[in-house]
Structure 1
Amino acid sequence: MSFIERLRNAGITPNDSEELRLQKALLVLASGLVSVAAIGWLLIYWALGPKLSTTLPFVLQVLVAANLLIYAASGNFAVFRFSQLAIFLFFPFIAQWALGNFVTASGVILWGLLAPVGALLCAGPRESVPWFAAYVFLTLLTGTFDFLLADYLVAAPSPVPLKASMAFFTLNFATISTIVWLLMRFAIVERQKARGELEDAHRQLHVEQERSERLLLNILPHPVAQRLKDDDCTIADGFAEVTVMFADIVNFTELASDMTPQQVFGMLNRVFSQFDEMAERLGLEKIKTIGDAYMVAGGLNTDLRDPCEAVAQLALDMRDWLAGAGARGANPLRVRIGIGTGPVVAGVVGKKKFIYDLWGDTVNLASRITGEGAPGSIQCDAATYDRLRNRFVFDPPHIVPIKGKGTVVVHRLSARRDLVEIAPDLPQRVVSPA
């Protein structure tokens, strides 16, 4: 900052903390008030009759102004603070000693109280203690000498008439009280402004924190997100039984070839957003989307009574909704769905752009039987079938070859058993709940 900018801005720099800004502004304000008061002090004395020497007020003005200029040039607030407080402390006592005693000087040493008050506001409670102790010591020292020299001082001619002395007692008390009040008021108002700005910043930070947490919860399950916030550690958990489902849009490549990128995005966003709502309603955990494939799991948290049933219901809902919604569009949409149940390993991979993912034979099996299914089919492995056969309707089992696994028995899920029993003559797509 230039010299003029420092002088105009009380030496405040952009890097200063709010507290340091306030301290600098307070001390510069006090310096200005003292300079104005010193001129007024001398003019009022002259108006009341005593023609006092202008030396002391002039010296005070020069010291205060020179100190401000040095501070503006150097930017050293610590030196400026010490020297300015020293001027505030010692100069009133020098002025009283020059005028005589408490009565003739009208208690001008009261101005020295600005030193400990200024130290309290501009340095802190601990730093103000020596300044207050020095003020009390000089006051007691001055009072002691006035007491010992009282007879001599009373006999000596007074340079200040008694009426002027009494008037200045009132002025000194009123002026110093006003200055102290102005400094305290300025400090409190500025601190209230700073507190208001801080509270506003906290509110904005809270809003941003909630937004960040919502984004994090859209990526990770709540328990995993909480663990990442509490401890930056590797997250990898084993689960004995999780039901994993893959849904793959049939002939997506061919469909997308006749669409613009915006149309492709709009179609996938509409479909997957609907799938998200369905999964959330059933309490299931969406894992990820891979191109046109959608992956969901149940059993990663303890909130669900029967995760396998919830995944099966989601598969039926997805198939039926997509068949109905897709039939209304220019390009009818159908899905292949595969469901597997068994042990998995779940965890967060990487440090940047991380995802929560699942690994294991259960995941591989669910993915591969999805690709072996016919359009509109929901294929389940034997473990899933064993858990659902009393509540859901399955087609007769069939065997499919799976790379790396050989032949696998697969059961095709058709509908909920209770709905079929209630309305056996209606198409299953109609009686299955949306």
Structure 2
Amino acid sequence: MRALKDSDPPRVANECRDISKQKQSEYMLESYSNMAEKNARDLQKEKDWVEKLLLNIMPKSVYEEMKEFGSTTPQRFDSASVMMLDFVDFTEIAVARDPTALVAELNDIFSAFDRIVELFGCECIKTIGDAYMAVSGLPETTEDHAQNIAKVALRVRRYLEKRNAANPQNWQCRIGINTGPIIGSIVGVQKYVYDIFGPGVNLAARMEQMAEPMQIMLCESTYRLLKNDFLLSYCGEVDIKGFNTQTIYSLDGELHGRR
């Protein structure tokens, strides 16, 4: 009986050590599990952030193609409508304004433009300084691309009119619209950007340059698609380098809707 009692303390000590090791192993396992879960959450957050960033610079369908295949194929669209917008006297405004306040106001304006573009199912392609480009009819084709981009242009102008009435800084813009063949593609190797090219884009830029402040200018190809639904004014014939003589019109409003 005494021999048995003498052996009890070592056995108890061993059992305690075993229990301690087991607890330590369980604690380490739980710690590793928590760390793995945290790493997985952090990785998912980073993945979501990258996806959100890419979706800001390219259409969703283009992003999905790039995610699946690692690259995208340039596409030609036989008919899409482009809107080009530029602010009047922006250089003078930029010189006179505090840079931080100017950028904050531009961000606010362009964010409003983005919401309008999205509302009518169009795509913002890019902003360059004070210039803004949007398109309808690509990468998802639609028959009413000219109507959609016209509604965007009218709503953008109305937004600026309301903003100017409520704020000391007056923002005047020129808007040009054109319908024609366009190529859409990812460009760049280190820095990706989705861009559009072609005569349809170039002529939209010429229309914007010819517009008066707060005027929306377009040419014959777009006019033919809008004439039954929108208020349009004939503005004459002009010779445009690379495009010969063009008949141009101003977009004044919708026939059956709000201006």
CA distance in 1, matches of 2:41, 2:140: 34
2:81 is the counterpart of 1:236 = no
- CA distances 1:38-80 after superposition (whole Å, capped 9, x unpaired): xxxxxxxxxxxxxxxxxxxxxxxxxxxxxxxxxxxxxxxxxxx
Give 3-state SS (helix, strand or coil) of 1:387's partner: helix
Q: CA deviation at 1:169?
A: 6.3
Q: Which residue of 2 aligns with 1:270?
A: 108
CA distance in 2, matches of 1:175, 1:393: 95
Q: CA deviation at 1:331?
A: 4.2
Note if contact 1:346-1:359 (Cα within 8 Å) is conserved in structure 2. Answer: yes
Instruction: Assess, with a 3 A threshold, how the Cα gap between structure 1 residues 267 and 177 changes in structure 2: closer, same or farther.
Output: closer
Q: CA deviation at 1:229?
A: 2.8
Q: Which residue of 1 aligns with 2:203?
A: 365
Q: Which residue of 1 aligns with 2:175?
A: 337
Note if contact 2:65-2:72 (Cα within 8 Å) is conserved in structure 1. Answer: no
2:187 is the counterpart of 1:349 = yes
CA distance in 2, matches of 1:359, 1:248: 18
CA distance in 1, matches of 2:178, 2:86: 15
2:22 is the counterpart of 1:184 = yes
Q: Which residue of 2 aligns with 1:194?
A: 32
Give 3-state SS (helix, strand or coil) of 2:221's partner: helix
Q: CA deviation at 1:206?
A: 1.9
Q: CA deviation at 1:397?
A: 4.9
Give 3-state SS (helix, strand or coil) of 1:312's partner: helix
Larger Rg: 1
Give 3-state SS (helix, strand or coil) of 1:271's partner: helix
- CA distances 1:225-263 after superposition (whole Å, capped 9, x unpaired): 223333332542222222111011122223333323234
CA distance in 1, matches of 2:206, 2:177: 10
CA distance in 1, matches of 2:149, 2:6: 91
Note if contact 2:83-2:133 (Cα within 8 Å) is conserved in structure 1. Answer: yes
2:46 is the counterpart of 1:208 = yes
Q: Which residue of 2 aligns with 1:378?
A: 216
Q: CA deviation at 1:371?
A: 0.3
CA distance in 2, matches of 1:335, 1:417: 23
CA distance in 1, matches of 2:120, 2:142: 9
Q: Which residue of 2 aligns with 1:408?
A: 246
The answer for unaligned runs of 5 or more in structure 1 is 1-161, 420-430
Point out the structure with the larger strand share: 2
CA distance in 2, matches of 1:266, 1:170: 77
Note if contact 1:369-1:402 (Cα within 8 Å) is conserved in structure 2. Answer: no
CA distance in 1, matches of 2:94, 2:11: 87
Q: CA deviation at 1:345?
A: 0.9
CA distance in 2, matches of 1:207, 1:173: 51
Note if contact 1:246-1:367 (Cα within 8 Å) is conserved in structure 2. Answer: yes
TM-score (structure 1 length as normaliser): 0.55
Note if contact 2:82-2:204 (Cα within 8 Å) is conserved in structure 1. Answer: yes
Note if contact 1:242-1:344 (Cα within 8 Å) is conserved in structure 2. Answer: yes
Give 3-state SS (helix, strand or coil) of 2:126's partner: strand
Look up the equivalent residue of 2:23 and give its one-letter code.
R
Give 3-state SS (helix, strand or coil) of 1:330's partner: coil
2:170 is the counterpart of 1:296 = no
Note if contact 1:283-1:304 (Cα within 8 Å) is conserved in structure 2. Answer: no
CA distance in 2, matches of 1:256, 1:329: 17
Aligned residues: 259
CA distance in 2, matches of 1:181, 1:261: 66
Note if contact 1:243-1:299 (Cα within 8 Å) is conserved in structure 2. Answer: yes
Equivalent residues in 2 for 1:110-189, closer than 5 Å: 163-164=2-3, 166-167=4-5, 174-189=12-27
Note if contact 1:287-1:357 (Cα within 8 Å) is conserved in structure 2. Answer: yes
Q: Which residue of 2 aligns with 1:318?
A: 156
Note if contact 1:338-1:380 (Cα within 8 Å) is conserved in structure 2. Answer: yes
CA distance in 2, matches of 1:305, 1:212: 32
Note if contact 1:372-1:400 (Cα within 8 Å) is conserved in structure 2. Answer: no
CA distance in 1, matches of 2:107, 2:2: 91
Aligned-residue RMSD, C-alpha: 2.3
Aligned sequence identity (%): 32
Q: Which residue of 2 aligns with 1:260?
A: 98
CA distance in 2, matches of 1:304, 1:170: 86
